[in-house]
């Protein structure tokens, strides 16, 4: 009996702060997820035939990629660190997708006056005369962090749901939790230790190592995912500029632009002749600059004779091969 290979599987967050941004990222990267029935936990990506999409909780995404039942996943760096395990079955092929940014922190009650650093916490523990009790959703990361800080006897209480209430009702002295804006902490009269950041997290793209090594189809999908995601993320912070420039030659105009900081580009601007009916020599210069440098680019273009400046968004910037793909191959070979 001939065994037919299964479809390549990509797991996405089904709920929480990562769910909508993950779908939006894929959509903007040209890999729209077709999910006509929101009550179903499967979907497709029309531009990636042969790939099925599953929706799972972020922690379950990590477990599924780790055990090989799913080939790829988008999840948070926090749950990845907590659940990836020590066996190296998971490969992080893009660690920073640009959404879901937060930090995992050591958090204490505001009423603990003078406890603002880990050194203060150790002194408080000594005065308390017993081990600290910490409520956390990330026991692996929390225990490792506290042990490295010399607080080996700390007791950890694994909890789900809202942790902010734990110090108030007394089942824990302090907590470790994810923080994005800090508003919830202030509302519950809690504070972060200034040096108590356990890890920084955001959305990331992961893959099963064995799938990449043993399945050429999975490796091809990995390249496509990285090609389009990286091209979109690279383009998102840039704009495309067209400007009319008067000059005797494209080389002469480019020479003036090379004397500037922003509009000189990496290799230089793209110059095209403008066909005019007055007989004057005009050229159209095209360049790509970062959005945060746009105002300076406009000033520099005007200073070298640019006019009729048109600015457009950039959808994708493709390189010869994404550095992330090369890094993935190097790690697979290693």
183: domain CATH number is 3.40.190.10
Q: For residues 235 and 317, give the distance between their C-alpha atoms in angstroms, rounded to a whole number.
A: 5
Higher pLDDT: 2 or 36? It is 36
Q: For residues 143 and 63, give the distance between their C-alpha atoms in angstroms, rounded to a whole number.
A: 20
In a domain, 129, yes or no: yes
In a domain, 325, yes or no: no
Q: Do 230 and 195 fall within a single domain?
A: no
In a domain, 329, yes or no: no
* Residues of the domain holding 226: 8-100+202-235
CATH code of the domain in which 304 resides: 3.30.70.120
Residue 4 has pLDDT above 70, yes or no: no
Q: Do 227 and 250 fall within a single domain?
A: no
pTM: 0.90
**Confidence class for position 40, pLDDT limits 50, 70, 90:** confident
Q: What are the tens digits of pLDDT across the range 144-178?
A: 999 999 999 999 999 988 899 999 999 999 999 99
Q: For residues 138 and 148, give the distance between their C-alpha atoms in angstroms, rounded to a whole number.
A: 16
Q: Do 91 and 115 fall within a single domain?
A: no
In a domain, 109, yes or no: yes
What the block records as the tokens of 28 is 């903007």
Q: Do 48 and 119 fall within a single domain?
A: no
Helix axis angle for 216-236 and 323-333, nearest 10°, is: 150
Q: What is the CA radius of gyration of the chain?
A: 26
Contact (CB, 8 A) for 28 and 100: no
**Confidence class for position 1, pLDDT limits 50, 70, 90:** very low
What SS3 state is found at 304?
A: coil
**Confidence class for position 5, pLDDT limits 50, 70, 90:** low
Q: Do 76 and 211 fall within a single domain?
A: yes
Residue 278 has pLDDT above 80, yes or no: no
Residue 276 has pLDDT above 90, yes or no: no
Q: Do 119 and 250 fall within a single domain?
A: no
In a domain, 39, yes or no: yes
Q: How many CB atoms lie within 10 A of CB 249?
A: 12
Structural domain count, the chain: 3
CB under 8 Å to 27, separation ≥6 — which residues?
33
Q: Do 84 and 166 fall within a single domain?
A: no
Q: Which of 78, 114, 121, 110 is nearest to 182 (CA)?
A: 110
What the block records as the tokens of 5 is 């290979």
End position of a domain, from candidates 200, 224, 254 = 200
Query: How high is the mean pLDDT of the chain?
Result: 93
Residue 140 has pLDDT above 50, yes or no: yes
In a domain, 225, yes or no: yes
Q: How many residues does the chain have?
A: 334
Please report, for residues 52, 94, 141, 197, the alpha-carbon distance to residue 83 in angstroms, rounded to integers and kept in the order given: 23, 17, 10, 19
In a domain, 73, yes or no: yes
Q: Do 19 and 93 fall within a single domain?
A: yes
Q: Which of 103, 110, 81 is nearest to 197 (CA)?
A: 103
Please report, for residues 88, 148, 199, 312, the alpha-carbon distance to residue 175 in angstroms, rounded to integers and kept in the order given: 29, 17, 15, 47
Helices and strands in the chain, H and E counts? 12, 15
Q: Do 216 and 89 fall within a single domain?
A: yes
Contact (CB, 8 A) for 100 and 17: yes
Q: Do 175 and 245 fall within a single domain?
A: no
In a domain, 268, yes or no: yes
Q: Do 263 and 244 fall within a single domain?
A: yes
Residue 2 has pLDDT above 50, yes or no: no
CB under 8 Å to 91, separation ≥6 — which residues?
206, 207, 208, 209, 212, 328, 331, 332
End position of a domain, from candidates 211, 235, 259 = 235
Q: Do 89 and 215 fall within a single domain?
A: yes
């Amino acid at each position: 009996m001939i065994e037919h290979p299964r479809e390549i599987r990509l797991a996405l967050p089904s709920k929480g702060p990562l769910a909508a941004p993950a779908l939006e990222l894929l959509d903007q990267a040209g890999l729209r997820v077709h999910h006509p029935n929101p009550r179903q936990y499967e979907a497709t990506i029309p531009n990636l035939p042969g790939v099925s999409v599953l929706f799972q909780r972020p922690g379950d995404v990590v477990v599924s990629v780790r055990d090989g039942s799913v080939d790829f996943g988008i999840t948070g760096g926090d749950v990845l660190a907590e659940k990836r395990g020590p066996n190296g079955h998971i490969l992080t092929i893009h660690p920073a997708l640009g959404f879901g940014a937060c930090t995992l922190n050591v958090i204490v009650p505001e009423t603990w006056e003078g406890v603002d650093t880990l050194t203060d916490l150790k002194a408080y523990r000594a005065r308390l005369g017993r081990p600290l009790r910490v409520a956390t959703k990330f026991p692996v990361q929390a225990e490792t962090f506290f042990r490295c800080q010399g607080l080996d006897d700390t007791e950890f209480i694994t909890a789900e749901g809202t942790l902010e209430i734990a110090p108030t009702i007394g089942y824990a002295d302090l907590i470790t939790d994810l923080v994005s804006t800090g508003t919830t902490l202030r509302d519950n009269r809690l504070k972060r230790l200034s040096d108590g950041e356990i890890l920084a997290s955001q959305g990331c793209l992961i893959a099963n190592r064995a799938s990449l090594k043993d399945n050429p189809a999975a490796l091809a999908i990995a390249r496509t995912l990285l090609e389009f995601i990286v091209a979109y993320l690279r383009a998102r912070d840039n704009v495309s500029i067209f400007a009319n420039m008067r000059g005797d030659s494209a080389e002469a105009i480019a020479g003036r632009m090379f004397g500037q900081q922003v509009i000189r580009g990496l290799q230089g601007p793209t110059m095209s002749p403008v066909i005019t009916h007055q007989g004057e020599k005009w050229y159209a210069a095209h360049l790509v600059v970062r959005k945060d440098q746009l105002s300076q680019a406009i000033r520099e273009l005007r200073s070298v004779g640019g006019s009729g400046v048109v600015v457009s968004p950039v959808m994708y910037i493709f390189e010869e091969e994404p550095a992330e793909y090369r890094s993935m191959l190097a790690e697979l070979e290693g």
